[in-house]
Amino acid sequence: MSINSWPALDGMAYGGDYNPEQWSREVWDEDVALMREAGVNLVSVGIFSWAMLEPKEGLYDFSWMDELLDLLHANGIAVDLGTPSVSPPAWFFHAYPESRVITKDGTVMGFGSRGMASHASTEYREAIARMATELARHYADHPAVVMWHVHNEYGVPVGEDFGPRSVANWRLWLQGRYSTLEALNEAWGTAFWGQRYGDWEHVVAPAATPTIANPAMKLDWARFTDDQLRECFRIERDAIRQHSDKPVTTNFMAHQSWNTDLWKWAQEVDVVSDDHYLWAPDPDGHVGLALSADLTRSVGGNDPWILMEHSSSAVNWQGRNVAKRPGEERRNALTHVGRGADGILFFQWRASRSGAEKFHSAMLPHAGKDSRVFREVVQLGQHLKDIAEVRGSRVVADVAVLYDWESLWAHDLEWRPSDDMQFRERMRAYYERLWRDDVTVDFAHPEADLSGYRLVVAPSSYLLTAAAGENLCAYVAGGGTLLVGAFSGIVDEHDAVHAGGFGAPLKDALGLTVEEFLPLREGETCDVVFDGAAMTADAWAEDIALAGAEVRGTFAGGPGDALPAITRHQHGQGAGWYVGARLTHETLAPVFAQVYADAGIVPAGGPEGLETITRHGADHDFVIAVNHREDAVSLSITGTELLSGAQIDGTLDLKGGDAAVVRIARAQQGGGA
């Protein structure tokens, strides 16, 4: 069967999660009328509907959903049909109590919330296969259904399970990975602390332990958990495949995902989709949003993707749920579009009156249609119609940022040299520098083909396999520019320190290894002198053993006083830069300026906070410009501004907080993978 790779829709997808089982039938009619007013053409239904679709085991009731799908279809609204496996009903847990998730400390997770049953439960796996089969059989040919939405946000609120069946699967998984106990003992370094295993039955899960558990074991546990979740996804996807050729997705969480290695997950879905919510404590949450969008596009091989969920205003699950201010949601949505999204959906269509998420914003808020939020929702729907021709166009980047979930898992284990060196924090600092310079990036796996990029940035590659090290050294030798952040190239895939000194896999590319880490105390700072100017750094210093690299910056004060902090190394046709300090996006600026020059990258040079991204279409290019500043800015550009229809001859003036989409003449495409 040939599978469709995009839902059959005209133009951009627009809509949200629709949970009408909360409402009486009359409300459904009002909903579809207002959806039409807002330009909604796609809604996700059924994600939490298991209890309504199978009220008793084996008794399926699709009548209400039949009526709903018919109503939506009659109103021109397509359906992304969910499978409800994320929230098994009360009867399921009553009948199969051993299917409940057991946490690390032995707590059995009860019913009354939401969240997946144990991924290892045979009864759960059988039940989700049956449900997916019944749904697919019933709705495969329904004209409203254009896509399947399996499960919801794999890995949250729970991904790991420490119950006996999961541990039994874990042993089988380890046998598959290592074949022999000798190989497992070797990989995990069990000679230390007397952990040697003499029998597979003795191998346990890294549950509660007196002090930290073996880190190699925990890293494998993360891989195992990810694999098990993906197995559950495949069960449902393959059941659907028996009956339908419509595309299957599941909603990722990009930079916010912990349990899922999205490089692997993206291989399993037909359409990549992602959920993103602003993190209220971060006043520059739009930078994290851009990171998340670029990461989502990248895991999907730069194909267009769908923003499956975001919020029209505040969420309700953070400590202080900051509402979006007028125009903010529009900027957020257009940034997602700029970074490759061909669909913009929300959680959820109508605000709930009851239950856990009643204070979460919605497309149709509690205030009703006569509200700022709904007016902006209607405006956005119009915008997406106005820019329909952007659909299918591509983002092309000259810069790749290395991102590896395995390195994240390993890095964030306990007992590292400094708690201050965190994967996500480092990723954000380097990304933010690029964002503020308005340089568009892809993300890439460290073992990927990087030859199409002028610059590769590795903010935090603690775990780097020997193969990845060779890949990066070959990339530099071939003429690439590589910029590596501190605490990179430290361990292999078993969290074992590489032989030859810290950073040994990158020695050829960087012309150095690191002899000793010199972390700073909490609150302590030192200076890094670069290009004659002193910049403040914190958290980290180190004693670099030079092996050919040229010193470009030096620590001043602190434990690394007078030692090299920033280096450049010519290797073959290219250059390897290294930053052995913790710099912020501000203090990274002068370093990046020189790295760009090496790589032949010329940043757009606009005012900081003006975000521009180009999507390349078959006949035209499209520049998405988002002004995050409070003051007005000007952009040199000629073309048609699609949101207003205005012709721009040379200069586009964008008010503070405004955004624009300009169709321009087709430019020559740059490099990029």
Active site residues: 153, 309
Tokens 């370094």: give the residue.
189
The phi and psi torsions of 58 (rounded to 5 degrees) equal 85, -5
CB 342 within 8 A of CB 305: yes
CB of 360 to ligand GLA, least distance (A): 5
Which three-class secondary structure state does DSSP give residue 595? helix
| Residue 613 near ligand GLA by CB under 6 A | no
Closer residue to ligand GLA (CB): 31 or 309: 309
**Binding residues for ligand GLA restricted to 185-244, rule: CB under 6 A:** none
Closer residue to ligand GLA (CB): 43 or 315: 315
Closer residue to ligand GLA (CB): 133 or 352: 352
CB of 310 to ligand GLA, least distance (A): 8
**Please, is 424 exposed, middle or buried when counting C-beta atoms within 10 Å of its C-beta (0-12, 13-18, 19+)?**
middle
CB of 349 to ligand GLA, least distance (A): 12
CB of 592 to ligand GLA, least distance (A): 33
Closer residue to ligand GLA (CB): 226 or 275: 275
What does the alpha-carbon distance between residue 214 and residue 340 come to, in Å, rounded to a whole number? 40
Strand partners, 252: 274
Q: Output the CA angle 303-438-304, nearest 5 degrees.
A: 10
Q: CA dist 360 to 43, 47, 288, 313, 569, Å? A: 18, 17, 20, 8, 51
In sequence order, the 6+-apart residues with CB closer than 8 A to the CB of 215 are 410, 413, 414, 415, 495
Q: What is the DSSP letter of 4?
A: P
CA-nearest of 328, 323, 326 to 366 is 323
Q: CA dist 166 to 119, 159, 170, 178, 494, Å? A: 8, 11, 6, 18, 21
Cα-Cα-Cα-Cα torsion 339, 4, 153, 22, nearest 10 degrees, comes to: 110
What does the alpha-carbon distance between residue 341 and residue 333 come to, in Å, rounded to a whole number? 9
Amino acid letter for position 594: Q
Closer residue to ligand GLA (CB): 16 or 247: 16
Tokens matching residue 81: 């049909």
The phi and psi torsions of 625 (rounded to 5 degrees) equal -115, 125
Which three-class secondary structure state does DSSP give residue 207? coil
CB 240 within 8 A of CB 250: no
**Binding residues for ligand GLA restricted to 437-496, rule: CB under 6 A:** none
Q: Which string of DSSP letters, residue by residue, matches 415-459?
A: S-S-TT--HHHHHHHHHHHHHHTT--EEEE-TTS--TT-SEEEES
CB of 364 to ligand GLA, least distance (A): 16
Closer residue to ligand GLA (CB): 125 or 310: 310
CB of 113 to ligand GLA, least distance (A): 11
CB of 315 to ligand GLA, least distance (A): 5
How many residues bind ligand GLA (CB under 6 A)? The answer is: 9
Amino acid letter for position 476: V
CB of 60 to ligand GLA, least distance (A): 23
Site string for ligand GLA, 313-332 (x = CB under 6 A): --x-----------------
Closer residue to ligand GLA (CB): 274 or 508: 274
**Binding residues for ligand GLA restricted to 500-559, rule: CB under 6 A:** none
What does the alpha-carbon distance between residue 586 and residue 530 come to, in Å, rounded to a whole number? 13
Site string for ligand GLA, 272-301 (x = CB under 6 A): ---x-x------------------------
CB 589 within 8 A of CB 580: no
| Residue 309 near ligand GLA by CB under 6 A | yes
In sequence order, the 6+-apart residues with CB closer than 8 A to the CB of 432 are 284, 287, 585
Closer residue to ligand GLA (CB): 311 or 481: 311
Closer residue to ligand GLA (CB): 274 or 398: 274
Site string for ligand GLA, 565-594 (x = CB under 6 A): ------------------------------
CB of 465 to ligand GLA, least distance (A): 32
CA-nearest of 443, 429, 458, 459 to 287 is 429
Closer residue to ligand GLA (CB): 360 or 383: 360
Length of the chain in terms of residues written: 673
| Residue 152 near ligand GLA by CB under 6 A | yes
What does the alpha-carbon distance between residue 653 and residue 617 come to, in Å, rounded to a whole number? 24
CB of 277 to ligand GLA, least distance (A): 5
Q: Which string of DSSP letters, residue by residue, matches 259-328?
A: S--HHHHTTT-SS-EEE----TT-TTHHHHHHHHHHHHHHHTTT--EEEEE--SS--SSSSS-PPPPTTH
CB of 153 to ligand GLA, least distance (A): 5
Q: Which of 347, 403, 405, 578 binds ligand GLA (CB under 6 A)?
A: 347
Closer residue to ligand GLA (CB): 277 or 431: 277
**Please, is 258 exposed, middle or buried when counting C-beta atoms within 10 Å of its C-beta (0-12, 13-18, 19+)?**
middle
CB of 395 to ligand GLA, least distance (A): 24
Closer residue to ligand GLA (CB): 263 or 347: 347
What does the alpha-carbon distance between residue 378 and residue 385 come to, in Å, rounded to a whole number? 11
Footprint of ligand GLA on this chain (CB under 6 A)?
Answer: 152-153, 275, 277, 309, 315, 347, 357, 360
